Amino acid sequence: MLRKLFIFCFILFTAVCLQAGEMPAAVTGQPQSDTSAQGPVYEYLIDAGDILEISVWGYDELTRDVIVRPDGKISYILVGDIAAKNQTPVSLAASIQARISEYVKKPKVTIILKKTGDKKVFLLGSVRAPGSYAHMQGEGLLEALSEAGGLTREASPGEVKIFRKNTSGIELVDFEDLLSADTQSRNVQLQPGDVVYVPELTKSRGVFIFGEVPQPGLYDERRAPTLLALIACAGGLKASASPSSIRVVRGDVNPKTIHANFDRALSRPGPKEDIALLSGDIVYVPRSVLGNVTTFASQILPPLQVIYYLNYIIKEVMDLP
């Protein structure tokens, strides 16, 4: 009785272990179905510099470590040169399996990726931390820019350029459109060796604001298409500003000045008061008279107060009338 109970418990324990344990799947020439439905799965693509272990089940003498050459090919016994770059381990195993089938009966080829080559993308221009970054399979532009710390304030997000290593073309990306759309579906995939360049805004590609604002500088007119939007980007108006005396200077050869009133633009939304800005526009927010008085007071009154208190102390100490 005890013997039967022991056998039953042993069988039950074995079944539970087999069900719970994770068995590593071999990468062979037979494609395996993926039942995962947890999001996009990126199959690894072999690249130059990768080290692969190729083995044939039952034939230890055919096990080899091979490196993918710069031309994208590998050399393997019984096969010779075969293209490996941009293939998955499964598809390459199937190709080798087909080639050696005339020498080996019903071969079962297994490929293990032992080491990946040095895969990097390069981020240059108006990013917070330009340089080279390791590239993982499936990573896109958003992930790369995030690793580089994001864009600087001087960046032109609508003109991000991607120089593709494997092609002679240049891909132009509007970063703001990318953020406003479905990120997963619109994210631009990068490949090892790609160079991402984020240009800096220039006067011909932006609007400039200075004067009584917390953050004067150059802004992309796509982010600040109107006067109110530009002032918002610059952090609003300082308390010392004159909101009714704002000037918009437009044109280089024969510039014209447009008078603007911040308060009216707020109370009367529309293009008449909230002026639409163009590339190259310069917005000046002057200081109000009260602002000048306040500045004068903050700079002049402290010394006067010091003189007053010194005079008071002298009179007290020396008991002067």
In this predicted structure, what is the pLDDT of residue 25?
38
CA distance 91 to 31: 8
- Which of 260, 266, 268 is CA-nearest to residue 244? 260
Amino acid at 72: G
Q: Torsion angle of alpha carbons 138, 135, 176, 252, nearest 10°?
A: -150
pLDDT at 23 over 60: no
pLDDT at 184 over 90: no
| 275 — pLDDT class (breaks 50, 70, 90) | very high
| DSSP assignments along 146-206, one per residue | HHTT-B-TTB-GGGEEEE-SSSS-EEEE-HHHHHHS-HHHHPPB--TT-EEEEPBP-GGGS
316 vs 245, more confident: 245
In this predicted structure, what is the pLDDT of residue 175?
84
CA distance 24 to 154: 49
Mean pLDDT along residues 206-210:
88
In this predicted structure, what is the pLDDT of residue 22?
38
CA distance 296 to 306: 16
Q: In the chain, what percentage of residues exceed pLDDT 70?
A: 72
- Which of 98, 80, 92, 109 is CA-nearest to residue 44? 92
| 214 — pLDDT class (breaks 50, 70, 90) | very high
Give how far Cα 308 sits from Cα of 272, 298, 320, Å: 52, 16, 15
Mean pLDDT along residues 9-24:
44
Instruction: Provide the mean pLDDT of the chain.
Output: 78
Q: What three-state secondary structure class fits 98?
A: helix
CA distance 320 to 237: 50
Containing 292, the helix (H) or strand (E) segment is helix 289-318
| Domains annotated on the chain, with CATH | 1-117 (3.30.1950.10), 120-198 (3.10.560.10), 204-287 (3.10.560.10)
- Which of 265, 264, 248, 246 is CA-nearest to residue 256? 248
Q: In the chain, what percentage of residues exceed pLDDT 90?
A: 34
| 182 — pLDDT class (breaks 50, 70, 90) | low
CA distance 305 to 303: 5
Q: Torsion angle of alpha carbons 176, 177, 180, 182, nearest 10°?
A: -130
Mean pLDDT along residues 80-98:
94
Contact criterion met (CB below 8 Å) for 197 and 223 = no
* Global model pTM greater than 0.75: no
In this predicted structure, what is the pLDDT of residue 138?
77
CA distance 70 to 48: 5
Going by C-beta distance under 8 Å and a sequence separation of 6 or more, which residues neighbour residue 110? 26, 27, 28, 54, 55, 56, 57, 93
pLDDT at 295 over 80: no
In this predicted structure, what is the pLDDT of residue 32?
46
In this predicted structure, what is the pLDDT of residue 220?
84
For the segment 223-249, what is each residue's pLDDT rounded down to a tens digit? 889 999 999 999 999 999 999 999 998
Segment among 58-72, 130-144, 157-171 with least mean pLDDT? 157-171
Among 7-21, 59-73, 284-298, which range has the highest average pLDDT?
59-73
Mean pLDDT along residues 47-69:
92
Segment among 33-42, 132-141, 147-156, 264-273 with least mean pLDDT? 33-42
Tokens 């997963």 sit at which residue?
184
| 112 — pLDDT class (breaks 50, 70, 90) | very high
41 vs 97, more confident: 97
- Which of 139, 124, 260, 140 is CA-nearest to residue 198? 124
- Which of 163, 241, 249 is CA-nearest to residue 203? 249
42 vs 15, more confident: 42
Contact criterion met (CB below 8 Å) for 190 and 162 = yes
pLDDT at 211 over 80: yes
pLDDT at 58 over 50: yes
Mean pLDDT along residues 180-193:
75
pLDDT at 302 over 80: no
Contact criterion met (CB below 8 Å) for 245 and 286 = yes
Give the up-direction half-sphere exposure of residue 204: CA atoms within 13 A in the CB hemisphere.
1
